[in-house]
């Protein structure tokens, strides 16, 4: 960790101003100013000397309203400064958006969920060990242009969807898979005012520039998420497969919401975690499912479609098969069919 | 707690740990909790290459960090640290690699500099700003790496013998049924929750060291040798230890560097190493490979057993665990051959980790036994019964006691083993494939020379002092129970002092010897006190006048004699002394060298027992049963139910014993399903060096872990009949898990850890 200036923002405008300082054209991940929410990603990486902000702008005191979870005509709005625990325990979330409650509940540990915020959560960085260890000189995400140590390294936990020759790091979060599956919106405030965009448009694939992880402009702050008001969100599940029962990132996960009438699927919405470089919407799989009945064979075809473009790198070869089975299991669970 | 425990029979009474309250209230002081006057803080800089040389160190940026005081490197440390020998060659250190000994790098994460500063933060920043450049060479990461060098243990150690008897290969050639398979276990790290900390303070040429240690006496003598000073100028303080598991048994090289730093700065220095640094500045369990060949007749009786083991070690050190000592002696078998080899690679030196030999070697043997049971279509429990023995097969020495089958029977009954259907995949429960497996555990019963001082005041307060260690096991409690049993005072009147090298010396807390070694010497001291009190009583004008002193006992705060004669303890004590009675005692157990106490006073514990005795063999045994559940589709593996039955002689405190064994079972499951240090073989560097990525079970992984204590009376092992059990619970569990996974899925995992990707292709129907 290196010395930094700590600033406590008193208002959102304050925060945006401080956060935009000296940002220049740097993408937020390597900007000189970083927002501090729960700090469970940021401080970790600063202690490892991986993130080296010059200014840390504490946004916890900004505006209590931004913490609120409130019902609106267009859906449920989750304030970005609410903690993971607050959102997971919220009665409306649990009743109407099980996939969100489950994704949050199955993430991290109670202590972390009490600290971490929803905004920070969607922006958490990868767990790629080569990214987190300065001793590896090759990491395009940490040091653009330096190469990728994971391509031929220990990569059992790395991604198979959305990978590039520059980076195969897995997007590690769970909550974002639920958001991407539910067609959620994200509300953003920045130096040029506010904007709203589909959550799906927030993150980017690594391509040639894995250090640019989102489409946030310098200084922009996430202030909320809007979950759609619709009956189908109630038929939703988050399934997370891992080596131990709790407190671990996903090897593969699936966020599934089914809009069903009798036993026919009107529309399926699918997010995939643990297997992709960004929160992953599996539209090819959705297309297989929509308009028909669902059973084991159909679910299997959908899963095949979801992973048709998978590219493995060695240790993570199994993720193609595991990812498919995870999706099949989640679909059957959402449709209340047995394995 | 029963305040009236003060009588014979206290030993064996379930008692909550006496230091429990201090621990849960945060009052117990761990090494780095001791306040130091005006300390400087150390942060370690560690190597980014595994092999080669340091080409240059640019300290400019680091020294410019405000608060940085000094930076120790190989360039400026001179000969402040003397070269010493590995513990197994008569020295004290767990690795002979001297981190700042030269520009040479022996392994990734080797200490290359110690940055000293006014604050922890400044020291850390200094370390991050230190610019090192290297002249790297291609490292060997481990097995099969180019440049790794294999040596046979018997070729490099004059005292090592590969156990063998008969003609195993000939017997194999004609055996009715054979198993011939290879097994492997991964690299694992202890990761005790308390980090590797060291604080050092000098005063008038005398050094005090606060460090979590399993061997304060060894640390004192070893450090004296490294510093070239008189051992009596060093005091090591380590009253509470937040887990150790072997990682704090031999001296690590960090300690002397902090001592040197404190001397240079002329002020106390405190180091709290990072979690990731613990992977490379201390020891670990190296990966092993095994080739097992079993031959049996149609009834399942073994006719041949071959066990060849290979273990990774560092370049310079010949560390090995050599578990064939146990695995070749577990079952009756007339023809046995074995071989242990070490593979030198560019890695830090491995070391003791809870049941160092038995965990990997019994994984191989107990997996192979399961395969043999399947080949013969015999119940795995029955196979063990047919090969049970009361003498070990290599030299024909008798076991002092062996309750293996009693353990199997007790655990099988509790587990419900008779409801098992043998066909793999046959015990499905909804979407989950259920598998049941079992395995044997064994651990050598070892006792070491030890010394202790016991003081009794007329008020009936007892103080027991010995430089033994409570590494979370319950040593404080079993020592208090021993004094309560022998001196007739309640447990809460016994003050136990441990973990200080100024106290009478005690052996390393390793090899599960502490309870047996310490309780026996404390009992001996107590007996001398009783004898003094009794002799004075029968010789004086008292109710005991003329009685045989040997018949008097201390119980319930009284001296008691035949025919209901009794007298309060204070009166009996005052007859001997106006003040306190203080006795110092030493004990040399059966099989230990006659100069065992002299060795102890140089910090060398002389553990005796196990398979090393000339006249007999002594082990504790147990049987472990595991239920695994494998999801039919996604194949993740859970072990919701574990049952172990153990016989380990006299159980001094069933409460702490059960915790040890339960923790062992959980660790055992972990060693099969969770724990594995990944290595990037290109650079010989550990990859998952934090507790988010190095998995250990969380609460949700453990549903039932039942411990059954099978009674066993063995007065041969020592006077009190105690066998060690600290390392008994986590042996064989890994095999029981793998055996259960086979039963669930039909897939035999011979290379740990069990991971779901190894099961995706299992033949069971989905
Ligand atoms: C051991 C461990 C296990 C974990 N396991 C899981 C798991 O299983 N599943 C899972 O999903 N997560 C897991 N996590 C990650 C954890 O959920 C995230 O660290 C956490 O959600 C981040 O939120 P925060 O508020 O602490 O973010 P911070 O650390 O404060 O911020 C993270 C980043 O986002 C930026 N930022 C924060 N808030 C905003 C905002 N409102 N607008 C714009 N930028 C912002 C910060 O500048 C920073 O760069 C784990 C973490 C740890 C340490
Ligand atoms: S996968 Fe991405 S984060 Fe990991 S080393 Fe490669 S570039 Fe860096």
What confidence tens digit (pLDDT) does each residue in B208-241 have?
999 999 999 999 999 999 999 999 999 999 999 9
Distance between CA atoms of A141 and A166, rounded to whole angstroms?
A: 9
Residue B383 has phi, psi (to 5 degrees) of -60, -40
Q: Quickly count: other Cβ atoms within 10 Å of residue A38's Cβ.
A: 22
Phi then psi for B205, rounded to 5 degrees?
80, 0
**Paired strand residues for B155:** none
B347 and A CB contact within 8 Å: no
Average confidence (pLDDT) over B362-372: 98
Is A124 near ligand 1, meaning CB less than 6 Å away? yes
Stretch A40-55: mean pLDDT: 94
Pairwise CA distance, residues B272 & B593, whole Å: 38
Whether A272 contacts chain B with CB within 8 A:
no
Residue nearest to atom 16 of ligand 1 (CA): A121
**CA dihedral of B222, B223, B228, B230, whole degrees rounded to 10:** -80
Looking at residue A29, its pLDDT comes to: 74
Which of A51, A159, A168, A208 for mutating ligand 2's site (highest number of atoms within 8 Å of CB)?
A: A168
Q: What is d(CA B132, CA B47) in angstroms, rounded to the nearest whole number?
A: 9
Is 90 exceeded by the pLDDT of residue B747?
A: yes
Q: Which of A318, A329, A330 to mutate to test the interface with B (most CBs of B within 10 A)?
A: A318
pLDDT for residue A272: 98
Taking residues A93-101, what's their average pLDDT?
A: 98
List the catalytic residues of B. 727
Sheet of strand B581-587, all strands in order from the earlier edge strand to the far edge: B494-497, B462-465, B450-456, B581-587
Question: What is the β-pairing status of strands A33-36 and A55-58?
Answer: parallel
Tell me the pLDDT tens digit for each residue of B185-208: 999 999 999 999 999 999 999 999
Return the half-sphere exposure (C-beta side, CA atoms, 13 A cut-off) of residue B91. 18
Q: Which ligand is nearest to the CA of A12?
A: 1
The answer for residues whose C-beta is within 8 angstroms of residue A86's C-beta and 6 or more apart is: A67, A69
pLDDT(B1) > 50: no
pLDDT band at B651 (very low <50, low <70, confident <90, very high): very high
Helix (H, G, I), strand (E, B) or coil at A252: strand
Q: Is A117 in the pocket of ligand 1 (CB under 6 A)?
A: yes
User: What residues form DSSP beta bridges with B638?
Assistant: B629
Q: Contact at 8 Å (CB) between B596 and B606?
A: yes
Q: Which residues pair with B464 in a beta bridge?
A: B454, B496
Atom index in ligand 2 nearest the CA of residue A166 equals 7
- In this predicted structure, the answer to whether residue B764 has a pLDDT above a threshold of 70 is no
The Cα–Cα gap between A51 and A41 comes to 10
Give the per-residue pLDDT at A28.
75
pLDDT value at residue B458: 84
Domains, chain B, in order of start with CATH, read 34-137+193-243+248-281 (3.90.1170.50), 358-445+612-759 (3.30.365.10), 448-595 (3.30.365.10)
Report how many helices (DSSP H) and strands (DSSP E) chain B contains, helices first. Answer: 18, 30
- Res. B4 pLDDT band, cuts 50 70 90: low
Phi-psi region at A138: left, alpha or beta (left = phi > 0; alpha = psi -120 to 50) = beta
Whether A252 and A241 have beta carbons less than 8 Å apart is answered as: yes
- Predicted confidence (pLDDT) at residue A42 exceeds the cutoff of 60: yes
Q: Is A313 in the pocket of ligand 1 (CB under 6 A)?
A: no
**In chain B, which among 390-449 make CB contacts under 8 A with chain A?**
430-431
Identify the bridge partners of residue B588 per DSSP, sorted by sequence position: none
Distances (CA, A) of B756 to B114, B679, B695: 42, 19, 14
This model of the complex carries an ipTM of 0.96
* Local structure of B19: helix, strand or coil: coil
Each residue's pLDDT tens digit, B560-615: 999 999 999 999 999 999 899 999 999 999 999 999 999 999 999 999 999 999 99
| pTM confidence score | 0.97
| A289 three-class SS | helix
Whether B2 shows a pLDDT value over 60: the answer reads no
**In the predicted model, what is the mean pLDDT of residues A138-153?**
97
Using DSSP's 3-state secondary structure scheme, residue B738 falls into: helix
pLDDT at A25: 57
User: Domains in chain A and their CATH numbers?
Assistant: 236-335 (3.30.390.50)
For residue B442 the two structure tokens come to 């064994």
Hey, what are B390's tokens? 């009361």
């Amino acid at each position: 960790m290196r010395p930094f200036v700590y600033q406590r923002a008193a208002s959102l405008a304050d925060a945006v101003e401080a956060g935009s300082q000296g940002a220049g054209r740097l993408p937020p991940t390597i900007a000189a100013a970083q927002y501090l929410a729960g700090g469970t990603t940021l401080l970790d990486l600063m202690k490892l000397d991986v993130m080296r902000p010059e200014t840390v702008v504490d946004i916890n005191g900004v505006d209590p309203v931004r913490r609120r979870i409130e019902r609106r005509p267009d859906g449920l709005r989750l304030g970005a400064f609410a903690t993971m625990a607050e959102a997971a325990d919220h009665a409306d979330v649990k009743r109407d958006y099980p996939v969100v409650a489950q994704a949050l509940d199955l993430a991290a540990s109670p202590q972390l969920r009490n600290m971490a915020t929803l905004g920070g959560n969607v922006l958490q960085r990868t767990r790629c060990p080569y990214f987190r260890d300065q001793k590896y000189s090759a990491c395009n995400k940490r040091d653009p242009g330096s190469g990728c140590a994971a391509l031929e390294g220990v990569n059992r936990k790395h991604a198979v969807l959305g990978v590039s020759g520059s980076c195969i790091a897995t997007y590690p979060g769970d909550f974002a898979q639920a958001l991407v599956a539910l067609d959620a919106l994200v509300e953003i405030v920045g130096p040029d005012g506010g904007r709203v965009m589909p959550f799906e448009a927030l993150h980017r694939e690594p391509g040639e520039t894995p250090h640019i992880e989102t489409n946030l402009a310098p200084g922009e702050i996430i202030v909320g998420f809007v979950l759609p008001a619709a009956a189908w969100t109630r038929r939703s599940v988050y399934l997370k497969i891992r080596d131990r029962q709790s407190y671990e990132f996903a090897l593969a996960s699936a966020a599934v919401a089914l809009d069903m009438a009798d036993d026919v699927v009107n529309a399926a919405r699918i997010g995939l975690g643990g297997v992709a470089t960004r929160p992953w919407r599996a539209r090819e799989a959705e297309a297989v499912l929509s308009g028909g009945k669902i059973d084991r064979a159909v679910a299997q075809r959908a899963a095949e479609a979801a992973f048709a473009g998978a590219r493995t790198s060695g240790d993570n070869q199994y993720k193609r098969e595991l990812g498919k089975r995870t999706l099949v299991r989640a679909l059957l669970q959402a449709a209340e069919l047995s394995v | 707690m029963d305040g009236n425990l003060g009588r014979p029979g206290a030993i064996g009474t379930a008692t909550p740990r006496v230091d429990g309250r201090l621990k849960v209230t945060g009052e117990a002081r761990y090494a780095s909790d001791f306040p130091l006057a005006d300390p400087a803080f150390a942060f370690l800089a560690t190597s980014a290459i595994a092999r080669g040389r340091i080409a240059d160190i640019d300290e400019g940026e680091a020294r410019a960090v405000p608060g940085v005081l000094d930076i120790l490197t190989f360039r400026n440390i001179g000969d402040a640290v003397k070269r010493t020998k590995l513990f197994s060659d008569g020295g004290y250190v767990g690795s002979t690699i001297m981190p700042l000994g030269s520009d040479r790098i022996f392994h990734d994460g080797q200490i290359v500099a110690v940055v000293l500063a006014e604050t922890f933060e400044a020291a850390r920043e200094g370390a991050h700003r230190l610019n090192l450049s290297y002249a790297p060479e291609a490292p060997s990461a481990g097995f099969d790496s180019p440049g790794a060098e294999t040596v046979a243990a018997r070729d490099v150690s004059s005292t090592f013998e590969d156990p063998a008897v008969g003609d195993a290969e000939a017997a194999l050639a004609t055996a009715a049924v054979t198993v011939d398979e290879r097994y492997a276990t991964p690299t694992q790290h202890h990761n005790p929750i308390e980090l590797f900390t060291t604080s050092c303070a000098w005063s008038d040429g005398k050094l005090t060291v606060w460090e979590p240690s399993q061997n304060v006496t060894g640390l004192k003598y070893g450090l004296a040798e490294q510093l070239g000073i008189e051992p009596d100028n060093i005091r090591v303080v380590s009253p509470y230890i937040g887990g150790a598991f072997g990682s704090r048994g031999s001296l690590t090289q960090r300690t002397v560097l902090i001592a040197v730093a404190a001397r240079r700065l002329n002020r106390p220095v405190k180091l709290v190493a990072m979690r990731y640094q613990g992977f490379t500045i201390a020891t670990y369990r190296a990966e092993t490979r095994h080739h097992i060949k079993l031959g049996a007749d149609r009834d399942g009786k073994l006719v041949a057993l071959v066990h060849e083991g290979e273990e990774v070690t560092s370049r310079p050190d010949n560390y090995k665990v050599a578990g064939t000592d146990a695995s070749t002696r577990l079952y009756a078998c007339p023809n046995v051959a074995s071989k242990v080899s070490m593979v030198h690679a560019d890695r830090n030196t491995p070391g003791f980790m809870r049941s160092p030999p038995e965990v990997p070697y019994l994984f191989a043997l107990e997996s192979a036994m399961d395969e043999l049971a399947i080949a013969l279509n015999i119940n795995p429990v029955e196979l063990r019964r047919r090969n049970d023995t009361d003498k070990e097969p290599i030299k024909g020495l008798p076991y002092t006691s062996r309750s293996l089958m009693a353990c199997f029977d007790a655990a099988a009954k509790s587990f419900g083993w008779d409801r098992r259907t043998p066909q793999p995949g046959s015990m499905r429960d909804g979407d989950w494939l259920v598998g049941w497996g079992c395995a044997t555990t064994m651990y050598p019963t070892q006792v070491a020379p030890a010394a202790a001082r016991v003081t009794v005041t007329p008020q009936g307060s007892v103080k027991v002092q010995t430089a033994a260690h409570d590494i979370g096991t319950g040593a404080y409690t079993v020592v208090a129970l021993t004094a309560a049993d022998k001196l007739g005072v309640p447990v809460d009147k016994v003050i136990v002092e441990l973990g200080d090298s100024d106290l009478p010396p005690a052996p390393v807390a390793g090899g599960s010897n502490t309870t047996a070694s310490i309780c026996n010497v404390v009992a001996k001291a107590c007996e001398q006190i009783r004898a003094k009190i009794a002799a004075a009583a029968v010789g004086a004008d008292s109710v005991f006048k003329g009685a045989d002193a040997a018949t008097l006992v201390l119980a319930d705060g009284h001296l008691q004699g035949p025919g209901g004669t009794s007298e309060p303890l204070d009166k009996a004590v005052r007859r001997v002394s106006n003040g306190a009675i203080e006795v110092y005692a030493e004990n040399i157990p059966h099989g230990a060298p006659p100069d065992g106490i002299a060795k102890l006073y140089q910090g060398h514990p002389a553990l005796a027992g196990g398979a090393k005795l000339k006249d007999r063999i002594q082990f504790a045994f147990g049987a472990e049963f595991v239920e695994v559940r494998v999801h039919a589709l996604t194949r993740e593996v859970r072990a919701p139910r574990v049952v172990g039955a153990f016989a380990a002689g006299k159980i001094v405190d069933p409460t702490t014993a059960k915790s040890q064994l339960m923790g062992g079972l959980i660790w055992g499951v972990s060693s099969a399903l969770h724990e594995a240090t990944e290595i990037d073989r290109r650079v010989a560097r550990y990859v998952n060096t934090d507790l988010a990525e190095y998995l250990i079970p969380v609460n949700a992984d453990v549903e039932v872990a039942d411990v059954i204590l099978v009674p066993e009376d063995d007065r041969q092992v020592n006077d009190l009949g105690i066998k060690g059990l600290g390392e008994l619970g986590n042996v064989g569990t890994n095999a029981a898990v793998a055996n259960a996974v086979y039963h669930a899925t039909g897939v035999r995992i011979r290379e740990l850890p069990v991971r779901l990707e190894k099961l995706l292709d299992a033949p069971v129907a989905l």
